[in-house]
Chains A and B, each alone.
Chain A
Amino acid sequence: MLRLPRRVLLRALLLEGTAGIIAASGLPACVSEKEAESSDAARLSVLSGYFDGRLAEAARIGRVSLSNDALQAAGHLEALERSAEIIASARDPGPALAELDARVEAELAKGDVVEVAGWILSPTEVALCILAARQLDG
């Protein structure tokens, strides 16, 4: 499993979006251009798959949560880190989606939630919305 130093990851995420994380991960350097393109597509399809193609709406939630620092305020920044890692290392959307779903379920079972504009959400899904925002906003 890919592990990035938290500081590097967050900086990459906030400054450069998912592309930045992917770049920071160094993954593309190890693969051919064709392979890189296909794994990039796989990563994108994880996000898009999670929201059934409704990235624009997810991104809207992401922007609101970024503007309120919702994840940070609730002490759940690690959800962002972990979600970014899962996405960055995904080669095939299926297992990644399953892992993200399992995380959401586990968070809810524990009662770990984040409030975004009044919606009571799991930290991982908020993290995915932030990643969607970064994806669309470049």
Chain B
Amino acid sequence: MLFNALTDVAEGQVLKADVCIVGSGAAGMTLALALQGRGLSVIVLEAGGPTETTEAIQDAYRGRMSGIRTWEPHRMRRRQLGGSTTDWAGWCMPLEREDFLERPWIPRSGWPITYDELAPYYALANRILELGDVPWDRDVLLATSPHEPWPSAPREYETRFFRFSPPTRFGPKYGPVLAAANDVAIYLFANVVEIVLDDARKNVSRLECRAYAGSGVPVPFRVEAARFVLAMGGIENARILLASRSQEPGGVANGSGFVGRCFMEHPHYYSSAGLIAPNVPDLGLYLRHAVEVWTGASTQKVELMGVWAPTAALRESLGLVDFTIELSPGMEIDNEMIGANTASALLARRDERPERVGLTIRAEQTPDEESRVMLSEEVDALGVPRVDLRWTIRREDDVALKRALVAAGVFVARTLGGRLFVPSEGDRFDWTPLPGGHHMGTTRMAANARDGVVDRNCRCFDVENLYIAGSSVFPTGGSANPTLTIVALATRLADHLLTGS
């Protein structure tokens, strides 16, 4: 069922359900889809409207950027049905097995769940994101592509694969499915403004909400439920917890002090490094291309793109965060002192015109408590403090990236006879990072209440009936784009809510 809070909810009304989900993006809608038809009544509160957003609605997302200045906060996510999947590009990749382990060289690394625990949910996420049933098996994907990896016998660097969702727009794709369900009620223009705890401060008793579409007088109403799930995105999940401070000055579920902290992005370094290489073969594996895969039941078309990435062994030996390298053949190399033409003299005996390949690096970043979502003193039209986003990247990450790319230079020279250019300043990699719109870490998952905000089941340590869905629970971000993992975790959370296991 689909309701408009502006017209269908009376002032002061109390809505009730077994489960209340806040947000209808990738996380919230996946959860609602998985709970539908399973004997629970579900309310989904969505701040935006059905098909498009307006500047006035987006205004609630405005905020300050006191760290790296990039896309402004209201330009990097969407407040509408389907959330930011309205804008996403559909690049998908699971996290690496090692991403879940504690990596002693990365402070605060290690998930309280394993890759194997999440693997079955990746299979479900594949379907939701319209990626087909083909498993995430590199050998299978490689065997189906007509192209060969480059170099043919990789060692320190391996080839991983991105796959591409159409991209699935959750609003138009799944909105109608949920609107047709009797046990799911979606309320549009329903903005949560505060989480209120019970007297013991152990459970959420209600959510304070406002019906509002960017103009007019906001109309208050409430929602009561047995269990609540915040699925508002990686910045807003932290914001609403911090902003709900009428009972607890540090905000709700913030006994550890980690709410808002360890904000992570995937810094994208577009066409930053570059290489020249002689006698380059077909690089088709590293371009977006479609392949057909026999799944045992049917033939499915899969869109693939290979990227280079450091092996787990190299990451461990050099103490690296993870990253991937996208290859763009023919791209100019941005080096004023020694351009690709000049450097080609080094390879001239083997190839008069060596191929130039631009490299785009997408990196993980070390969780850093000082990189964080905070509240500013300014409030939005609903009285909720705006965010102050202080995104920072530790110098150590830039230093490690430089180390990794020097190793890549050796790899390129030894295995391909090529030469690599790495933009750097002294001992650190030096290029302007751009964000991916991937907001992670601000309500991190941990093994105990001291080290994080939610437990292995995404339940808040401090508040028994409050759960969090989305990439804010990622304790580390890996280098893979987050949405596949967000969807996998949301289906896993649905299982937990349904079975308690």
> How many pairs of residues, A versus B, come closer than 8 Å at their CB atoms?
79
Inter-subunit contact A113/B409 (CB<8 Å): yes
CA distance A57 to B347 in the complex (A): 11
How large, as a class, is the contact surface on chain B?
20 to 34
CA distance A50 to B349 in the complex (A): 7
Between-chain CB contacts (< 8 Å), 20 pairs: A50-B349, A51-B345, A52-B349, A52-B352, A54-B344, A57-B343, A57-B345, A58-B345, A61-B345, A108-B413, A111-B407, A113-B406, A116-B338, A118-B335, A119-B419, A120-B406, A120-B412, A120-B413, A120-B422, A129-B346
Inter-subunit contact B410/A111 (CB<8 Å): yes
Chain A residue at minimal CB-CB distance from B338 = A117
Q: Hey, which chain B residues are within 8 Å of A61, CB to CB?
A: 338, 342-343, 345-346
How large, as a class, is the contact surface on chain A?
20 to 34
Inter-subunit contact B413/A57 (CB<8 Å): no
CA distance A37 to B319 in the complex (A): 54
Residues of chain A at the chain B interface (Cβ within 8 Å):
49-55, 57-58, 60-61, 64, 108-109, 111, 113, 115-122, 125, 129
Is B180 among interface residues, defined by CB-CB distance under 8 A? no
Is B38 among interface residues, defined by CB-CB distance under 8 A? no
Q: A119-B420, A120-B420 are in contact. Are A64 and B414 (CB under 8 A)?
A: no
Q: Which of B338, B341, B346, B406 contacts A51 (CB 8 A)?
A: B346
Q: Which of B341, B346, B421 contacts A125 (CB 8 A)?
A: B346
Inter-subunit contact A57/B422 (CB<8 Å): no
Beyond A52-B348, A119-B338, A120-B408, list 18 extra A-B contacts (CB 8 Å).
A51-B346, A51-B348, A51-B349, A52-B352, A53-B348, A54-B344, A54-B348, A58-B346, A115-B406, A115-B422, A115-B424, A118-B335, A119-B409, A120-B405, A120-B412, A120-B413, A121-B419, A122-B413
Residues of chain B in range 33-79 having any CB-CB distance to chain A below 8 Å: none
CA distance A9 to B422 in the complex (A): 32
Most buried by B among A113, A119, A129: A119
Is B423 among interface residues, defined by CB-CB distance under 8 A? yes
Q: Hey, which chain B residues are within 8 Å of A116, CB to CB?
A: 338
Q: A113-B409, A113-B410 are in contact. Are A54 and B345 (CB under 8 A)?
A: yes
Q: Hey, which chain B residues are within 8 Å of A53, CB to CB?
A: 348
Inter-subunit contact B422/A60 (CB<8 Å): no
Is B153 among interface residues, defined by CB-CB distance under 8 A? no
Per-residue CB contact flags for chain B residues 398-438 toward chain A (1 = under 8 Å, else 0) read 00000001111110111000011111100000000000000
CA distance A121 to B342 in the complex (A): 13
Is B200 among interface residues, defined by CB-CB distance under 8 A? no
CA distance A51 to B414 in the complex (A): 19
Q: Hey, which chain B residues are within 8 Å of A55, CB to CB?
A: 345
Chain B residue at minimal CB-CB distance from A109 = B414
Inter-subunit contact A52/B338 (CB<8 Å): no
Q: Shortest beta-carbon distance, B372 to chain A, in Å?
A: 33
CA distance A108 to B337 in the complex (A): 23
Inter-subunit contact B424/A118 (CB<8 Å): yes
Chain B residue at minimal CB-CB distance from A128 = B346
Chain B residue at minimal CB-CB distance from A52 = B348
Chain A residue at minimal CB-CB distance from B414 = A108
Chain A residue at minimal CB-CB distance from B346 = A125
Q: Shortest beta-carbon distance, B410 to chain A, in Å?
A: 5
Q: Hey, which chain B residues are within 8 Å of A117, CB to CB?
A: 335, 337-338
Q: Shortest beta-carbon distance, A10 to chain B, in Å?
A: 23
Chain A residue at minimal CB-CB distance from B410 = A111
CA distance A49 to B343 in the complex (A): 16
Q: Hey, which chain B residues are within 8 Å of A109, CB to CB?
A: 414
Most buried by B among A108, A120, A122: A120
Inter-subunit contact B344/A57 (CB<8 Å): yes
Q: Shortest beta-carbon distance, A132 to chain B, in Å?
A: 9
The 9 lowest CB-CB distance pairs between A and B, nearest first, are A120-B409, A52-B348, A57-B345, A54-B345, A117-B337, A57-B342, A117-B338, A52-B349, A108-B414
Chain A residue at minimal CB-CB distance from B424 = A118
Q: Hey, which chain A residues are within 8 Å of B352, CB to CB?
A: 52
Q: Hey, which chain A residues are within 8 Å of B414, CB to CB?
A: 108-109
Inter-subunit contact A121/B346 (CB<8 Å): yes
Chain A residue at minimal CB-CB distance from B418 = A120
Inter-subunit contact B348/A119 (CB<8 Å): no
Q: Hey, which chain B residues are within 8 Å of A57, CB to CB?
A: 341-345
Q: Shortest beta-carbon distance, A63 to chain B, in Å?
A: 10
CA distance A115 to B338 in the complex (A): 12
Chain B residue at minimal CB-CB distance from A101 = B349
Q: Hey, which chain B residues are within 8 Å of A121, CB to CB?
A: 346, 413, 419
Q: Hey, which chain B residues are within 8 Å of A54, CB to CB?
A: 344-345, 348
